[in-house]
Structure 1
Amino acid sequence: MRSVVADTRPLQHGDFRRLWTANIVTVIGAQLTIVSVPAQIYADTGSSAYVGLTGIFGLVPLVVFGLWGGALADHLDKRRLLTITTVGLIVTTLGFWLQAALGSTNVWLLLGLFAVQQAFFAVNQPTRTAVLPSILPMDLLPAANALNMTLFMAGAIAGPLVAGALIPLVGFSWLYLADAICLLATLYAVRRLPPLPAERHPGSPSSAPGLRSVIDGIRYLGGHPVLMMSFVVDLIAMVAGMPRALFPEIAHVDLGGEAGGGLAFAVLFAAIPAGAVLGGVFSGWVSRVTLHGRAVVLCIVAWGVAVALAGAAVLPAGGRLHPWIWLAAVALAVAGAADMVSAAFRQAMLQSSASPEVRGRLQGIFIVVVAGGPRIADVVHGYAAGLVGAAWATLLGGVLVVVLVLVASALVPSFARYRADLPPAGASTGRRSPG
């Protein structure tokens, strides 16, 4: 079973174990706030248009501070930066609690707090990921990323269920307070980290953490085709193949579900994260794979095929729920598992082959790509569904993923040939943990 279930060897390293264990509570706590903010906005305004503003108020600081936060992570002590941003997250979450406890209905105050919180998150997340090569051996990075993603996806399932059940019982303020208290676990784990000063190497981008530093990081990425391709193939997978914007229409029109939710709606939305969790639980094999580039290509091909099969599964449904919903759910779960493994390998490639002094900036770009790709997909798939229908748009999007990723890997063959045990020339292998 050790060769099948998740590789837990990273948990033998104290710093990683404390961070990961703290995340068990903080991920669920974060989901309480993620669910409560739009729910409170709708309760206060009765307008979905105001709820939709969370996309803008969340994405803009995520992009701006994700890029800048990566530059900060490359120039400052990472432990200090994680401490500052974690405290910032705690303070903004307490702001959510205070406005709800006082009965405020000012939607702009709520959106403003949300934007500030997302700014702190955008700096915190790339810094936390950039820390891993400094506290773990390089050969454990794929397993560590798989463990992190499994925990995140599990929280994405459990958090909304818990929040949905508790909001009618205790109200919004107590959920915000619970999130703030949960964040104390992460603050403790961060304070237990050793000092993690910025690393400097001759010939590497080293400008001050401003616009020039961000540009230097992008220029570094452009000079390393393997690293650049790790972002390109993810954009292909998400923009062409993420059909989440179509789930409401598929659930209602193709599967005959309720217009405002229901079984079909819930199953479709839960299938991808559920598959990602299962993929993480049975990810023991990832640590034995050295051909990371080929593994990413195969995983994204599997994602595209599974998404196409999900679209094909509902084409003949004709408004009937069973068994088509379960066929689509299985296909989407397979897609979620493939995406989880792909992300684990792509993160490992960035962490192991990038020079240490640009890892933060590359992780910042990673956050922007991960956040921006699905949002672009929402627009693209929504337009395509208006032309050919939601099921066909899902099927054709999956096929397009397969075609584009194979073309991209053929144009940059060094990506598919990338081996974890043979990093690109000049790339740093990082600092190994003493255990």
Structure 2
Amino acid sequence: MSVVDKPRRSWMIDTSPLRVTAFRRIWIGTGASFFGFQFTAVAVPVQMFAITHSPFWVGLLGVAGLIPLLIFGLWGGAVADVVDRRRLLLASSALTWLVTLGLLAQAALGARSPHLLLALTAIQSVGFAISTPTRQSIVPRIVPTAMVPSANTLNYTTTTAGGVLGPLAAGLIMGIWSTGTGVEVAYAVDALLFTVTFWATWRLPPIPPIEPDDSGEKPTAGLRGIVVGLRYLITQPVLLLSFGIDLIAMVFAMPRALFPAVAEDRFGGGSAVGWLFSAIAIGSVLAGFTSGWISRVRRQGIALVAAVVTWGVAIGLSGFAHQLWLMVLLLAVAGAADLVSAVYRQTIMQTFAPDRLRGRLQGVFTVVVAGGPRLGDLRAGGTADLTGVGASWVGGGFVAAGLAVVLAFAFPALIRYRPVPEPGDNAGR
């Protein structure tokens, strides 16, 4: 029996991709790993701020993660085009898990070294840079093409649900225990939950590379293979613009590096930091649960631009808030817009690119999507030291919204984009 159904007209999230066994397994593994990682994502900046008392040092965590992303995101995507993607995902996940154990060890030993935190963040970024394009390039191989938007929505909704519960739980831990003990518990939870990811990945079927098509290009994992992917990318304005508009949103309007300082200065610290780290994800989850309409939108480029503008405006307004509930509400609005933009960015990339190039383009996508927020951390932290936290937060949001509008209308290929219907189904079972 076919797993492809006639598109539903419900506004509720489409769960039909979960009937595909392989997707269900990768979905479980992704959700578990992301939920666990949120404990580390909160603990590292909190520990850094406790050691240095400087938003700039917190922002440097973004730089530490960015450089490995630039190198290994591209290389990992190229490797994903030439080896079994399941095996590559297992190996890169193992590296990430080992770094989490290292974070736990340095906290337990009371190292209090900002340089060690930067180094461990950089190594962890290597594992993330390889595993992310690998995992994302698997999705179009295991679900029918028509289900790709719904599968992406399920993945983003689940990971952002982890982004809600993880930071809240981490914030609760920080409120119950002292900072030192709290970060140790957070790292331990992340390491424990990662075992679920290994189990789910191990249960995936082999996903070897597809034989070369009529183009005659045989994928390679070296520099030549990366260059081939980049050469294809620069000839595709739709992909370039979708990457560019996401960079604008993340570099100028990601206030994450400011959360520890704002939580302490405006709201007295404690569990407030958990609410700030989870607020964007709260909005994304709510948007995901009411996302049945996403796969029915044909003007995906316009939807992407509108979502990025909404993100920037909501972030800018949230920077004015001095009540925790209001800041969380506005950040949640931004998170809802982020869910929509993320689904369309990923779907455009996955359905636009041929499978022989998909790993390499997913590598570029990973560099943009994961590297953008890290540049945003540096931008926010550095600007805050010069102009103050409020100006850095508010100004970044409104600048991002304005630049997104300018880019979209100056180069209209993205707002004109509509997906081309696939004549057949090339998904695996």
| TM-score when normalising by structure 2 | 0.83
String of CA shifts for 1:259-315, please: whole Å, max 9, x gaps.
x6368766554432221121112112112222211211221232233334435x54x
Does residue 199 of structure 2 align to residue 188 of structure 1?
yes
Aligned equivalent of 1:12, options 19, 41, 49? 19
Aligned equivalent of 1:203, options 215, 219, 223? 215
Does residue 33 of structure 2 align to residue 26 of structure 1?
yes
Q: CA deviation at 1:344?
A: 0.5
Tell me: CA distance 1:2–1:8, structure 2 relative to 1, closer, same or farther (3 Å).
farther
String of CA shifts for 1:223-276, please: whole Å, max 9, x gaps.
111111110111122233334455567778xxx825x63687665544322211
Residues 303 and 335 in structure 1, CA contact (< 8 A), matched pair in contact too? yes
**Secondary structure in 1 aligned to 2:242?**
helix
Q: CA deviation at 1:73?
A: 0.7
Range moving further from structure 2, 233-242 or 71-80: 233-242
**Secondary structure in 2 aligned to 1:284?**
coil
Residues 204 and 357 in structure 1, CA contact (< 8 A), matched pair in contact too? no
String of CA shifts for 1:93-149, please: whole Å, max 9, x gaps.
344455666x36384666544433321121011100010000011222222222212
String of CA shifts for 1:146-180, please: whole Å, max 9, x gaps.
22122222222322333344473976666545433
Tell me: CA distance 1:151–1:218, structure 2 relative to 1, closer, same or farther (3 Å).
same
Question: Match for residue 217 of structure 1?
Answer: 229
How far apart are the structure 2 equivalents of 1:40 and 1:332? 23
Residues 243 and 394 in structure 1, CA contact (< 8 A), matched pair in contact too? yes
1:238 alignment partner AA = M
Residues 205 and 358 in structure 1, CA contact (< 8 A), matched pair in contact too? no
Residues 133 and 363 in structure 2, CA contact (< 8 A), matched pair in contact too? yes
Tell me: CA distance 1:84–1:327, structure 2 relative to 1, closer, same or farther (3 Å).
closer
Tell me: CA distance 1:37–1:400, structure 2 relative to 1, closer, same or farther (3 Å).
closer
Does residue 137 of structure 2 align to residue 130 of structure 1?
yes
Question: Match for residue 65 of structure 2?
Answer: 58
Aligned equivalent of 2:312, options 288, 292, 304? 304
Question: Match for residue 3 of structure 2?
Answer: none
Q: CA deviation at 1:197?
A: 1.4
Range moving further from structure 2, 409-418 or 224-233: 409-418
Q: State the identity %.
A: 44
Report how many residues are paired.
415
**Secondary structure in 2 aligned to 1:203?**
coil
Residues 95 and 127 in structure 2, CA contact (< 8 A), matched pair in contact too? yes
How far apart are the structure 2 equivalents of 1:414 and 1:172? 46
Residues 257 and 263 in structure 1, CA contact (< 8 A), matched pair in contact too? no
Tell me: CA distance 1:67–1:83, structure 2 relative to 1, closer, same or farther (3 Å).
same
Tell me: CA distance 1:339–1:174, structure 2 relative to 1, closer, same or farther (3 Å).
closer
How far apart are the structure 2 equivalents of 1:430 and 1:205? 23
Aligned equivalent of 1:280, options 279, 284, 288? 288
Question: Match for residue 96 of structure 2?
Answer: 89
Does residue 76 of structure 2 align to residue 69 of structure 1?
yes
Residues 241 and 377 in structure 1, CA contact (< 8 A), matched pair in contact too? yes
How far apart are the structure 2 equivalents of 1:269 and 1:163? 10
Range moving further from structure 2, 362-371 or 120-129: 362-371
Residues 257 and 264 in structure 1, CA contact (< 8 A), matched pair in contact too? no
Tell me: CA distance 1:131–1:236, structure 2 relative to 1, closer, same or farther (3 Å).
same
Tell me: CA distance 1:74–1:379, structure 2 relative to 1, closer, same or farther (3 Å).
same
How far apart are the structure 2 equivalents of 1:155 and 1:5? 19
Residues 133 and 430 in structure 1, CA contact (< 8 A), matched pair in contact too? no
Residues 42 and 274 in structure 2, CA contact (< 8 A), matched pair in contact too? no
Aligned-residue RMSD, C-alpha:
3.5
Residues 290 and 421 in structure 1, CA contact (< 8 A), matched pair in contact too? no
How far apart are the structure 2 equivalents of 1:382 and 1:94? 27
Structure 2: gaps (5+ residues):
1-7
Tell me: CA distance 1:64–1:301, structure 2 relative to 1, closer, same or farther (3 Å).
same
**Secondary structure in 2 aligned to 1:414?**
coil
How far apart are the structure 1 equivalents of 2:44 and 2:382? 28
Does residue 382 of structure 2 align to residue 373 of structure 1?
no
Question: Match for residue 317 of structure 1?
Answer: none
Range moving further from structure 2, 243-252 or 23-32: 243-252
Residues 81 and 220 in structure 2, CA contact (< 8 A), matched pair in contact too? no
Q: CA deviation at 1:21?
A: 1.9
Range moving further from structure 2, 357-366 or 80-89: 80-89
Aligned equivalent of 1:78, options 60, 81, 85? 85
2:152 alignment partner AA = N
1:70 alignment partner AA = G
Q: CA deviation at 1:205?
A: 5.3
Aligned equivalent of 2:428, options 414, 430, 433? 433
Question: Match for residue 334 of structure 1?
Answer: 333
Tell me: CA distance 1:415–1:288, structure 2 relative to 1, closer, same or farther (3 Å).
same
String of CA shifts for 1:39-96, please: whole Å, max 9, x gaps.
56677x6675876654443322222211111111111111111122223333443444
Tell me: CA distance 1:244–1:408, structure 2 relative to 1, closer, same or farther (3 Å).
same
Structure 1: gaps (5+ residues):
315-320
How far apart are the structure 2 equivalents of 1:273 and 1:279? 10
**Secondary structure in 1 aligned to 2:266?**
coil
Does residue 128 of structure 2 align to residue 121 of structure 1?
yes
How far apart are the structure 2 equivalents of 1:83 and 1:225? 34
Matches of residues 249-264 of structure 1 in structure 2 within 5 Å? 257-258=266-267, 261=269
Q: CA deviation at 1:31?
A: 2.3
| TM-score when normalising by structure 1 | 0.82
Question: Match for residue 318 of structure 1?
Answer: none
Question: Match for residue 408 of structure 1?
Answer: 407
Q: CA deviation at 1:400?
A: 3.6
Range moving further from structure 2, 394-403 or 332-341: 394-403
Does residue 216 of structure 2 align to residue 237 of structure 1?
no
How far apart are the structure 2 equivalents of 1:387 and 1:53? 15
Q: CA deviation at 1:408?
A: 2.4
How far apart are the structure 1 equivalents of 2:387 and 2:150? 40
